[in-house]
Amino acid sequence: MWWSKFHKNQLKYTRGYLIEVMHSDTVVISNVTLVNSPAWNIHPVYSSNIVVQGVTILAPTHSPNTDGINPDSCSHVRIEDCYIVSGDDCVAIKSGWDEYGIAYGMPSEHIVVRRLTCVSPTSAVIALGSEMSGGISDTAVGRGAYVRDVFVRGMSLDTMKWVFWMTGNYKSHPDDKYDPNAVPAVENISYQDVVATGVTTAARLEGIQGAPFRGICIANVTATLAKSRKYPWTCTDVEGVSAGVTPAPCQPLQGAHDGACPFPTDTLPIDQLVLQQCTYSIPSS
């Protein structure tokens, strides 16, 4: 299979994606099952008004880079009612890599993910990055741009290494021409109404020295650890508030809060797109 050859360095070319949509507007991918993709399964890039609905994605949990759905430099995206088994991230929101992404400058924005079931033993349910140089929580010095205004709530998780992982030290770069002074801004991230069991560590939050991650809000979160830990949270260079969080968060997040994180109340334009079923017939010759 693809993955065996990848591990043995026997591939001459990059592994393909099952579905890639480029420079497109108003695309619906629905009610399909994708099995054993060589790499990413669904990759909309430089596109807008994308709906991915009722999709099943199945890949061996040991298969590398078999991300489920990766909107990349896309706007107005709706992902809902999907079931994903993957060897990598189930959903990863991206926007270009280092200088390439900065030069193109097309952010990923106005994206909603809801009613997602994810099975991935080693990676994220929903990842932001690491490719995010056009703007969109994995990031690193050299990537530049931003991750901001991210709202997460209503999640049930089981058997997790971390409930929350944000890092400013991801390090991977496509070449040696990246700008080491391109420091990303990460701010206004809200997590609320999350229940997790079988957790190794509640959170690993690693900002950037001199450019801390700001505006983090965590509320009504319960993480049950598989084993008791002296330090269930690891935090450096982050700033924020919390309320109703168990176990108690690290000191930089213990600012008082009224019990609810800020969440937008307006409806995204992509939610106003209504899908209708149509019938057609092929005339006999």
Dump pLDDT digits (tens) for 172-206.
544 555 566 667 788 999 999 999 999 999 999 99
Which residues 6+ apart lie within 8 Å of 194 measured at CB? 152, 153, 154, 155, 156, 157, 163, 220, 221, 222, 223
Using 50 as the pLDDT threshold, list the residues of the chain that sit under it: 98, 131-144, 173-174
> Do 148 and 131 lie in a common domain?
no
Q: Is residue 210 part of a domain?
A: yes
Q: Is residue 275 part of a domain?
A: no
H or E element that contains 93: strand 91-93
pLDDT, position 168:
80
Q: Which of 25, 72, 81, 88 is catalytic?
A: 88
Cα dist from 236 to 24, 165, 194, 216, 253, whole Å: 40, 12, 22, 13, 11
pLDDT, position 270:
87
> Do 122 and 218 lie in a common domain?
no
**Prediction pTM value:** 0.85
Alpha-carbon span 218 to 223, nearest angstrom: 12
> Do 122 and 159 lie in a common domain?
no
Instruction: Check the CA dihedral 126-130-131-134 and report its sign.
Output: positive
Q: Is residue 21 part of a domain?
A: yes
Expressed as residue numbers, the domain containing 209 is: 141-261
Annotated active-site residue 193? The verdict is no
> Do 188 and 256 lie in a common domain?
yes
Q: Is residue 276 part of a domain?
A: no
pLDDT, position 140:
35
> Do 160 and 257 lie in a common domain?
yes
Alpha-carbon span 143 to 136, nearest angstrom: 11
> Do 131 and 9 lie in a common domain?
yes
> Do 41 and 77 lie in a common domain?
yes
8 Å CB contact between 90 and 118: yes
pLDDT, position 176:
58
Report which residue type is found at 130.
S
Q: Is residue 215 part of a domain?
A: yes
State the burial class of residue 112 (Cβ atoms within 10 Å of its Cβ: 0-12, 13-18, 19+).
middle
Q: Is residue 280 part of a domain?
A: no
pLDDT, position 13:
84
> Do 95 and 174 lie in a common domain?
no
8 Å CB contact between 110 and 138: no
Number of domains in the chain: 2
> Do 106 and 188 lie in a common domain?
no
Alpha-carbon span 82 to 117, nearest angstrom: 6
8 Å CB contact between 104 and 134: yes
What residues form DSSP beta bridges with 150?
A: 189
**pLDDT, tens digit (0-9, with 9 covering 90-100), for 66-75:** 999 999 999 9
Domain final residue, candidates 82, 112, 136: 136
> Do 129 and 254 lie in a common domain?
no
Alpha-carbon span 186 to 169, nearest angstrom: 13
8 Å CB contact between 16 and 39: yes
Q: What is the dihedral of CA 72, 77, 83, 84, to 10 degrees?
A: 10
pLDDT, position 143:
44
Q: Is residue 53 part of a domain?
A: yes
Alpha-carbon span 242 to 163, nearest angstrom: 15
> Do 83 and 23 lie in a common domain?
yes
Q: Is residue 117 part of a domain?
A: yes
> Do 145 and 70 lie in a common domain?
no
130-140 burial: b if 16+ Cβ within 10 Å, else e:
bbbbbbbbbbb
